[in-house]
Every structure is written in structure tokens, then in C-alpha cells.
Amino acid sequence: MHLNVPPSLITFNPASKTITLGSPFNLINEKDILRIRDETTKEIIYDRGIASTKITITIANEIITYTYDNDHQNASDDIQVELDFGYYAPRVAVWSNQAVAVGATVNQSSKLYVEGAATIWLIASESGASGVTFNVLSFETSNSSASSVIQTGSISSISPTPIIVEVGLPYIALQAINQDGSNAASITASLIITWR
């Protein structure tokens, strides 16, 4: 399934021939990039299907560097980065400004269906408290209680590192736990599932 990176998450620097993608797309591999196109000049900077030694890309320190001759391009150009996540479309579950009271545990109501081995991307931020941890839970059905914890950790230890897992049960969801003894939390979190 192909996915275009939102323009707001693309920083284009033609002087250094680099493209920087915002989270969570900053963690992609070269094999995930299908095509890079300058929509302003209508030029293809990179295309995996026609890649040659003259037009290549590399990724180091989360920055894409390309070899295309782009002397006439500008940093303000509209750049399109098209990704290929394989057969399955990415699935996303989002919490937006979810309140988590002091000492409370909150479970995400929407569950994502997963087929086999998957990469889980957890992007999260919190305000108001300093002690929120997350669990990624797995479920037998969309209506059942959680059967196991796939991954656990704090925002700093999970986000935005992808977690590559073999999911034993077909549904997953997030659980947030506020361990701050005196402050309620407000969290925003996205759980993104991709396959290869």
C-alpha cells in the first residue's frame, strides 16, 4: 500500500540535496521509499522502479540524501515523498487530548486488527504530569478483554522508536497509566501499524 508523507512533515534542502521527514516517517528505511517528486518543477528526484547509479538515495541519521542534479530547485518547492508499506495499508488509532486522572489506567476503546508480524509505531506526548507509561495490549477479539501485554514503556523509551513484533492475537490497543502521584495528565498518542 502506498502512502504520501504529509507536506507539513517534509523539509527540503536542495542546496545540500537532503530531505528530512518528521516523525514517525523519520524512521523509514530506503526500501520504504517508492518515489520522490518535485511537484513544483514536475521532476522525479528518485523512483525506485527506475533507480540507477545516477539517481540514488541514502538515509543516515534520519536524513535522506539524494544524487539528482537539482540546481534549479528551491527549498520552497512542493515535494512529494511516496512510501510503499507493502500489501497492507497502515492502520492508525489516535488518542487526542485524552485525560488520565492521577493513578488512573485508561484503555483505548478502538482496537486495530493485525495480521502476523507487524511494526508498531507509538508517537505520544503528554502534559500536566510526568509519569505516564504505556502498554500495547493484544486481544483475541475486538470485544474481548486483554490477554497479554506486547510492549511496555514510558513515552521517552517507546516514542518514536518502532517496535517490531510477532503479534499472537489479532487485535491490539493502547493502555495509558498515570503514575504521577499528584497531577492529572492529558495525552495525545497515535498507534500506527505497518507490515512488510
The reported pLDDT for the residue numbered 167 is: 56
For 2-7, what is the mean pLDDT?
A: 82
* 45, 37 contact by CB (below 8 A): yes
What's the rounded Cα separation, in Å, for the pair 106 and 89? 27
What's the rounded Cα separation, in Å, for the pair 65 and 165? 29
The reported pLDDT for the residue numbered 17 is: 94
The reported pLDDT for the residue numbered 108 is: 83
pTM assigned to the model = 0.52
Q: Which of 93-102, 160-169, 172-181 has the lowest mean pLDDT?
A: 160-169
What's the rounded Cα separation, in Å, for the pair 88 and 83? 12
The reported pLDDT for the residue numbered 178 is: 87
Which three three-digit cell numbers place residue 190? Answer: 497515535
Q: Look at 190 and 44; give whichever has higher pLDDT.
A: 44
Q: Grade residue 155 by pLDDT with cuts at 50, 70 and 90.
A: low
Which three three-digit cell numbers place residue 121? Answer: 509505531
